[in-house]
Structure 1
Amino acid sequence: MKRNLLFLERVLFGDGTEPFHGVYALKIDGAIDHAGLIQALARLQEKYAMLRTAIGIDLLGRPYFHSPPVPPVIPLRIVERTDEDDWNRETVHELGASFGVSNGPLFRITWIRSTEVSDLIMAFHHCMCDGGSGVALLSDLLALLDDPQAEIGKAPAFESIRDLVPGEILDNSRNRFKAKLSAALVNLGLSLGSLFISTQRKPAPRSGDYLVNWKLGTEQSKALFTHCKKEGVTVNTAIGLALMEAFKAVNGAGAHGKATCPVDIRRYMPEVKRDMLFSYGLALNISLQQSIGSGFWAKAKSLQTHVSKQMAKLNPYEFTMIMEASHSAVHKLRRFLTYAKVGNDFMFSNMGKLDIPPQYRNFAVDTIYSPTVIGPFANPNTIITTTFNGQMDFSFVSNQKFMPRDTAMQIREKAMEILFETVAIPDSVRL
């Protein structure tokens, strides 16, 4: 396998030295066999060609994925389990530990081991895959741990933009002209913007990264889903609004009242299959200015109107064509994301229900913690939620220098207070 990185893959890759990783963590009740885990990782590499790749740099300075003559083995690090918080510490460690991108692979596992309970930490470079791809990897890994002979198939892979954008769209002269014009405008905007950017504003040091995790009980989660459906508001919109209001309540004038929400590109681009390792998605922006009304749910409905309009306009093919015409601006965009003044409060993603069973023949999955991701850019605030076994789980990562952990804890408490203020749940399980 050999292909150049797409534009957004290059943005996530940078120069390969700075960590920009996605990390999944889960708790397993039951014994894990060492040899079985190694065999499962080898089977994963057989299915996913991207797990056998490294990244080289061509003579023009452009990075490309390639398969080394001797496939790299997936690293397995074993840590003895001492307490229930080991997974949190090891997740933060994995977020900040760089991959050897020139040798590969861009994927590794940490096994936090004990006799009866284990935690697995799965880390991957974001330029290789996103959270949705991570679910596919995790699902296959669990299936193989349970049954080494499990049939997991062969993962599709793409070789160029032509595998992602239909020919009738990609070769249309009007579409190509529009993409080049848009790319030129992007380049011009970044060039002008860079005149006002000072590299003196350094990103927060990675040694200060932290993870705040919390979970809603089954009844709380069910109550929230039911109430959102009754109000005609998505769970994503409701939580996004509660978080923006919480940032405003805690940070006051220091809050921006804005957030960015990634959207799974698979919903709009059927060429990206469920188990195709793919690194980027679409995005929409939300703000408190879009939430007008008296009371939280009236504001949520107003915000939902704006969200729905943005969702309807998302065009993955046009977006991809514009990005692929913008390669000359990749370093300018990274400079902007790294050094420009922060304009929003956080990135928020609700990945929804994880299609992974809680019970296997030889073990049970007690918990899947929501994945985490943190990069080298100016704003590290990232909040991701997932639902597993009927319970919503939240991961909030940031950096101590950018936002003290105590502030993140206050935002968490305030957001949940705002969200559940009028949601009917039994008193015995209230937050």
Structure 2
Amino acid sequence: MRRRLIMGERIMYVDSSTPLNCVFAVTIRGSFTLERLRNALNKMQQKHPLLRATIKEDAKGVPYFVSSNKLAEIPIRITERVYDNDWKVQSKIEWGKLFNEKSAPLARLVWLKDTDVSDLILVCPHCICDGTTFVTLMSEMLELLDKPEKELSSYLPFNSMEGLLSQSFKATKGQVLKAKFFSIVAKLFFLFKSTKNKKPTGQNYLLHWRLDASKTAVLTAECKAAGASVHAALCVILLNAFQAIRGNKANGKVICPVDVRKFVTEIKVDNMFAFAPIAELSVDDKIVGFWEKAKKVKDDLNAKIAAMKVHELLVMSEYFHGSVSKMVKYLLSTDGTHDVTFSNMGRLGIPEKYDSFEVEAIYSPTVGFPWRNPNTIVVSTFKGVMDFTFCSNDAFLPESEAAAIKNKALELLEQELMMNYA
């Protein structure tokens, strides 16, 4: 494989000197050997083409995925597990480390090791993985740890967007002309768009909290009874919390990534992929009542997803590579028009118990975005418990303010749940 990064991957690559890493951590109780862990990672590496590739730039600075049979194994860094929150400290360390070693793959693992309890922290650059990818990799690693004899089926890489989608989509001449026209418009837009602001130079931080199993169950039941969705209800809660704490600094908008696999059957659920189209949502203040607002947000999201022409978007976006460096500069320098990027991974399809160990906790993925507006909240559900991570930079959003937003969101959620019991 020698493939130019597609547009979504290219943006998440940023450049060769800027790390943009995703981190996914799990706590397991039970014993296993380094040999078993190494076996698991080796089999994963043999399955996924992107784990057997590095990123190399050509003479013009264009990055490519390049396969190599001489890559090292996925590295494992072992350190002592002292406190339950050590995974957060190590996650923040991993945000800032580049994948720039010539013979190293685009993944690494940190093993926080104690006698009976271990944290396994999987790290990948965002340009090769999304949330679904992370769940796949974690599932495979845990299964292979438990059953080292298991084999994984590999799949072939694609070498171009046209090659990936050739069976299901063929761009028309009109679509190509439209893409070329809008690529010119994009160049002009970013040419005159100010990038005088600098990206945050403060410290990235991570907030983590959970909604216990009883409250998670109540929220899920109330959403179902109201005809809303958990995702929509949480969007309303978060936007109201930002408004309450930030006042006129709040934008009243949340952007939500959508799993591209919903539309593109060529990308299997266990294939590594990084591109995710975005839906922007807001709360209609003309509507009275929390659940009515949540139902409207649900309807808006469903309508936007239904209107997505993802095949066309994937192919047409390839005509915008001439503007990608300006797009990246824009993201590094603009406050944006949204309050937060919010990703709901739903219930994780990862077993709780294995023959040789038990999964005590899975922490929602974290990411240290270099953007000027890096506000990101991710939620996932495991063992019936909702797990939240909130990542940002204190030069853009002070950590104390983010903590106030978190607390306000929990307060508003508590109010709605209690109100329905009154």
The two structures have a TM-score, normalised by structure 2, of 0.95
1:281 aligns with one of 263, 267, 276: 276
Match of 1:411 in 2: 405
Match of 1:325 in 2: 319
Match of 2:216 in 1: 221
Q: Is 1:211–1:395's contact at 8 Å kept on the other side of the alignment?
A: yes
Letter of the 2:59 counterpart: L
Distance apart, 1:266 and its partner CA: 0.7
Partner Cα separation in structure 1 for residue 74 and residue 157 of structure 2: 19
Q: Is 1:53–1:65's contact at 8 Å kept on the other side of the alignment?
A: yes
1:112 correspondence with 2:106:
no
Partner Cα separation in structure 1 for residue 136 and residue 168 of structure 2: 30
Letter of the 1:204 counterpart: P
Q: How far does the alpha carbon of each residue in 1:28-75 deviate from its partner, in whole angstroms, 9 at most, with x for none?
A: 011121121112111111111211111111123211111234122211
Query: What's the secondary structure of 1:423's corresponding residue?
Result: helix
Letter of the 1:52 counterpart: R
Match of 1:88 in 2: 88
1:347 correspondence with 2:341:
yes
Match of 2:303 in 1: 309
Moved more, 417-426 or 131-140: 417-426
1:268/1:171 CA distance change after superposition, 3 Å: closer
Match of 1:379 in 2: 373
Distance apart, 1:416 and its partner CA: 1.8
Letter of the 1:320 counterpart: L
> Counterparts in 2 of 1:48-67, with a 5 A limit?
48-67=48-67
Query: What's the secondary structure of 2:128's corresponding residue?
Result: coil
Match of 2:358 in 1: 364
Q: Is 1:22–1:131's contact at 8 Å kept on the other side of the alignment?
A: no
Q: Is 1:345–1:381's contact at 8 Å kept on the other side of the alignment?
A: yes
Match of 1:396 in 2: 390
1:157/1:355 CA distance change after superposition, 3 Å: farther
Letter of the 1:84 counterpart: D
Q: Is 2:92–2:368's contact at 8 Å kept on the other side of the alignment?
A: no
Tell me, which stretches of 5 or more residues in structure 2 are unaligned? none
Q: Is 1:55–1:103's contact at 8 Å kept on the other side of the alignment?
A: no
Query: What's the secondary structure of 1:326's corresponding residue?
Result: helix
1:245 correspondence with 2:263:
no
Match of 2:227 in 1: 232
Match of 1:8 in 2: 8
Letter of the 1:128 counterpart: I
Distance apart, 1:190 and its partner CA: 2.0
Query: What's the secondary structure of 2:165's corresponding residue?
Result: coil
Letter of the 2:130 counterpart: D
Q: How far does the alpha carbon of each residue in 1:185-218 deviate from its partner, in whole angstroms, 9 at most, with x for none?
A: 222222232xx331xx222236x11111111111
Letter of the 2:239 counterpart: M
Query: What's the secondary structure of 1:94's corresponding residue?
Result: helix
Match of 1:132 in 2: 132
Letter of the 1:175 counterpart: Q
Letter of the 1:350 counterpart: N
Q: How far does the alpha carbon of each residue in 1:64-105 deviate from its partner, in whole angstroms, 9 at most, with x for none?
A: 111234122211101101111101111111112211164431
Distance apart, 1:253 and its partner CA: 1.4
1:3/1:11 CA distance change after superposition, 3 Å: same
Query: What's the secondary structure of 1:412's corresponding residue?
Result: helix
Q: Is 2:2–2:64's contact at 8 Å kept on the other side of the alignment?
A: yes
Q: How far does the alpha carbon of each residue in 1:224-255 deviate from its partner, in whole angstroms, 9 at most, with x for none?
A: 11111111112111101110110110111111
2:290 aligns with one of 281, 287, 296: 296
Query: What's the secondary structure of 2:355's corresponding residue?
Result: coil
1:291/1:106 CA distance change after superposition, 3 Å: farther
Match of 1:261 in 2: 256
Partner Cα separation in structure 2 for residue 101 and residue 128 of structure 1: 16
Match of 2:33 in 1: 33
Match of 2:201 in 1: 205
Q: Is 2:39–2:148's contact at 8 Å kept on the other side of the alignment?
A: yes
Q: Is 1:169–1:175's contact at 8 Å kept on the other side of the alignment?
A: no
The list of structure 1 runs, each at least 4 consecutive aligned residues, that deviate by more than 4 angstroms after superposition, is: 424-427
Partner Cα separation in structure 2 for residue 51 and residue 373 of structure 1: 19
Partner Cα separation in structure 2 for residue 375 and residue 422 of structure 1: 32
Q: Is 1:183–1:322's contact at 8 Å kept on the other side of the alignment?
A: no
Query: What's the secondary structure of 1:119's corresponding residue?
Result: strand
Letter of the 2:241 counterpart: A
Match of 2:329 in 1: 335
Q: Is 2:335–2:373's contact at 8 Å kept on the other side of the alignment?
A: no
Distance apart, 1:312 and its partner CA: 1.6
Partner Cα separation in structure 1 for residue 385 and residue 156 of structure 2: 31
Letter of the 2:142 counterpart: L
Query: What's the secondary structure of 1:110's corresponding residue?
Result: strand
Letter of the 2:125 counterpart: H
Distance apart, 1:319 and its partner CA: 1.1
1:88/1:262 CA distance change after superposition, 3 Å: same
- Please report the RMSD computed on the Cα atoms of aligned residues, expressed in angstroms: 1.8
Query: What's the secondary structure of 2:151's corresponding residue?
Result: coil
Q: How far does the alpha carbon of each residue in 1:324-375 deviate from its partner, in whole angstroms, 9 at most, with x for none?
A: 0101000110011111233211100001111110100000001000011222
Match of 2:178 in 1: 178
Partner Cα separation in structure 1 for residue 363 and residue 286 of structure 2: 33
Partner Cα separation in structure 2 for residue 293 and residue 72 of structure 1: 57
Moved more, 272-281 or 357-366: 272-281
Q: How far does the alpha carbon of each residue in 1:151-174 deviate from its partner, in whole angstroms, 9 at most, with x for none?
A: 222144322112332456324222
Partner Cα separation in structure 1 for residue 168 and residue 40 of structure 2: 41
1:78/1:425 CA distance change after superposition, 3 Å: farther
Query: What's the secondary structure of 2:245's corresponding residue?
Result: helix
Partner Cα separation in structure 1 for residue 167 and residue 116 of structure 2: 53
Q: How far does the alpha carbon of each residue in 1:107-144 deviate from its partner, in whole angstroms, 9 at most, with x for none?
A: 00000000100001100001111111111111100011
Letter of the 2:61 counterpart: G
Partner Cα separation in structure 2 for residue 370 and residue 341 of structure 1: 25
